[in-house]
Structure 1
Amino acid sequence: MKPFPFITVRGEPLERGRQYGEQARERICKGIGHYKAQVARYALSSDDIASLTRDYLPIVERFEPAFVEEMRGIAEGSGTTFEDILLLNARTEILKLAEKPALRESLTASRQVPDGCTAVIVMPEATATGRLIHAQNWDWKAECAETGVVLKVEREDGPDLLTFTEAGALARTGLNASGMAITGNYLESDRDYREVGVPLALIRRKALESDNLALAMRTIYATRKSASNNMIVSHAGGIAINFECAPDETFQVHPENGLLVHANHWVSQAALAKLVDRGVANMPSTLFRDLRARDLLRPKVGRITPADVRTALLDDFQTPYSLCQPERPNTAGIITATVAMIIMEPELGTMQITPLPSRGTAPSYYSLRANEIRLAS
């Protein structure tokens, strides 16, 4: 399995978007094809899809106009349309809206194939080096191993950032030159899709553009969303907070004994007292994935290394419904897998990324301080 391509862009938003689109053209087109095929199952035409994406444009413009310019640049550089690129950046929300005509009309809740994840934080006092580790297994459609990229954005108006994302999207999992890192994973509740909020990919990108931890956390805490989601923000200085986000309210979960692990179910007791968790039925393995990761790491607290985190995230207990998920059909018949394992050290500005780790793939290393991929020795 080849490493994910490393793309570096710089300049004003429109120009760096063009650079991104040109360098990732093939993967962007492949990703658009994947999601258009998925949406087409609901008997929607290209015009219908474009209309759905345009519904999000005023929301994105109010949230951050520069993102609109960057997406227009990506479309120009890749030879696609702006609506196609907005589809990639709001695909969670648009796939949900596409499922049923009644949903598109009323924005009431429905179901989609969720992208599960397991995220891990090891606080500095629990690591061998004294450096915070922030990691994640991203579980989603296996074909996305062919559309992932690592994007480095060199900025003049804020900190440089490095993100692993689907080609054409502005961010997913990443870190920045100010020492912050972010991961996101699926949650579902009875409050989802009552109104249209800011697409999750853009919230993560906005957080990564922040030069101050407080501003990044405010973006995640206060921005209204279409649906529930879990986001963890960490800082190399030894801070990590897990934000369990309902569309209109945010709850916090903090590390315990140097560890923070989160899968795809609500953990905050305050949240569970106020809303209904709708996601466990779709992915019951969430109930033990976080327990497995925590139990595998707990005996090593005080001397945990990135290699230990990698070993924990490779766990195959109860495979194929395991922490490291092999390629398998889910209940909707879609082939899913752990598409990528990402292990970040924000202090160093580095990401270790392994595509389809269940295959025994070797990791590759990406850095804010270099423009090359370093392969595992």
Structure 2
Amino acid sequence: MKGIGHYKDQLHSSGLKDSDLATMIDRFAGAIDEYGSQYIEEMRGIASAVNTDLAAILLLNARTEILKLARRREKGQEDFIQSDGCTGVFVMPGATRDDVFIHAQNWDWKAECAETAVVLKIKRDDGPDIITFTEAGGLARTGFNSAGISISGNYLETERDYRELGVPLAIIRRKVLEQDQLALSMQAVYATRKSASNNMMIGHAHGIAIDFECAPDETFLVHPQDGVLVHANHFQSPIALSKLLDKGVANMPDSLYRDLRVRQLLQPHIGAVTIDTVKTALSDTFETPYSVCRPPRRSPLSNNQSATVAMIVMVPGTGEMEVALLPALGAHFWKYSLDMQISPIERPPQVQTNAA
């Protein structure tokens, strides 16, 4: 698989020995197996299907953690690594023209990953079906399930990262999408110990959406304002900022205005926002190439081309997902759908008052 080779080459170029990589993978395999052995079995099946070994698929599903740990082993290089810089959006039903919940994201990463990205549909007998945009071989990234629960993620970085072993982010996201109850999806994010910080945006088709700013051992909540929430790659929670050192901004200073730009572009349309409104906002080119929608550019931290690899726009209530690869080069959207089984909102029984 091309994606596996790409990450192995990057790890070798950082000076990581094969024996050290194998040790890292084994440690994460243990954490995943303890969290849910079914994930190991699924990865084993993927490995068999593409004629590779389990370790390669484990690498894909823990690549954020392993790439960062490998770079931290290089003396003086701990804080310098290209990261998944993403911009995520919630638009609540009351802020949209059609009274629907919209959940969208720009995924900024290595441009070559556009060649290995897939939209994966998972038909399940023991829970809701899933549709997720991810890298080939990955169990989940950005997506929603047939119960109307959606998730996207953004890179964050703090001084607490990688002090202890935790569950890889891709596995947590998959756990979120396997739930038929929103509370259980939120529990998977809130209660699962992680190796590193991350921002996870969880929503529901009926109009509940919460942003979880996660440190490895603590989680902070951010809520939509005026029907909109936009999150890039820096902490927004005042409580989080009072307790943590936000280290990600040094590598991604454009994060400080990406969320502001998208919010500014959506604000005039509150009450009439559509999918096209969100696409336009996420296509913003202010300060390009350090923009919301990033054309391929050479990363100052590596020899890789960094870009907005994909724009993903989801309407869980109607089972719609649209994806454009490398949208800064001309956005062509592919449309996908999932058969939905969303429970209706239960109305409280009317209280009857008897006249005296």
Normalised TM-score (structure 2): 0.93
- Please state how far the C-alpha of 1:331 moved relative to its aligned partner: 1.5
Q: Deviations over 1:128-185 (max 9, x none)?
A: 1000000000000000000000000000000000000000010000000000100000
Contact 2:80/2:301 (8 A) holds in 1: no
2:25 corresponds to which residue?
A: 53
Q: Is the 8 A contact 1:109 1:192 kept in 2?
A: no
Amino acid at match of 1:347: G
1:44 matches 2:16: yes
Query: Partner amino acid for 2:293?
Result: C
Aligned to 1:21: none
1:140-289 to 2 correspondences below 5 Å: 140-289=109-258
Asked if 2 retains the 8 angstrom alpha-carbon contact of 1:96 and 1:111, the reply is no
Question: Does the CA-based 8 Å contact 1:350-1:366 persist in structure 2?
Answer: yes
**Which aligned pairs between 1:297-316 and structure 2 lie closer than 5 A?**
297-316=266-285
Residues paired across the two proteins, number: 338
SS in 2 for 1:267: coil
**Deviating more after overlay: 214-223 vs 325-334:** 325-334
- Residues 42 and 100 in structure 1, CA contact (< 8 A), matched pair in contact too: no
The question of 1:353 aligning with 2:323 is answered yes
Matches of 1:95 and 1:64, distance apart in 2:
23
In 2, the alpha carbon distance for the partners of 1:109 and 1:332 equals 12
1:336 aligns with 2:306: yes
Report the 3-state secondary structure (helix = DSSP H, G, I; strand = E; otherwise coil) of the residue aligned with 1:185.
Answer: strand
Partner Cα distance (1:45, 1:350) in 2: 44
What is the one-letter code of the residue matched to 2:6?
H
Counterpart-to-counterpart distance in 1, 2:168 and 2:267: 35
Which AA in structure 1 matches 2:215?
Answer: A
1:161-213: CA deviation from partner (whole Å, max 9, x where unpaired): 00000000100000000001000000011111101100000000000000100
Give the superposition deviation at 1:84: 0.4
Structure 1, unaligned stretches of length 5 or more? Answer: 1-28, 371-377
**Aligned partner letter, 1:203:** I
Q: Quote the Cα distance in structure 1 between the aligned partners of 2:87 and 2:110.
A: 15
Deviation at 1:254, TM superposition (A): 0.1
User: Gaps spanning 5+ residues in structure 2: where?
Assistant: 341-356
Aligned-residue CA RMSD (Å): 1.4
Q: Aligned residue for 1:88?
A: 60
- Structure 2: how far apart are the matches of 1:327 and 1:102? 27
Match of 1:115 in 2: 84
Determine the C-alpha separation between the residues in 1 that align with 2:107 and 2:39.
Answer: 24
Corresponding position of 1:23: none
Aligned residue in 2 for 1:70 = 42
Q: Distance in 2 between matches of 1:317 and 1:102?
A: 35
Is 1:366 the equivalent of 2:332? no
Q: CA deviation at 1:109?
A: 6.2
CA distance in 2, matches of 1:154, 1:282: 39
The residue number in structure 2 matching 1:12 is: none
Computing the radius of gyration from Cα coordinates, the structure with the larger value is 2
Deviates more, 1:347-356 or 1:42-51: 42-51
SS of match in other structure, 2:24: helix
Q: Supply the distance in 2 between the matched residues of 1:47 and 1:55 (Cα, whole angstroms).
A: 13
| CA shift in 2, pair 1:144/1:102, >3 Å | closer
Distance 2:253 2:36 in 1: 36
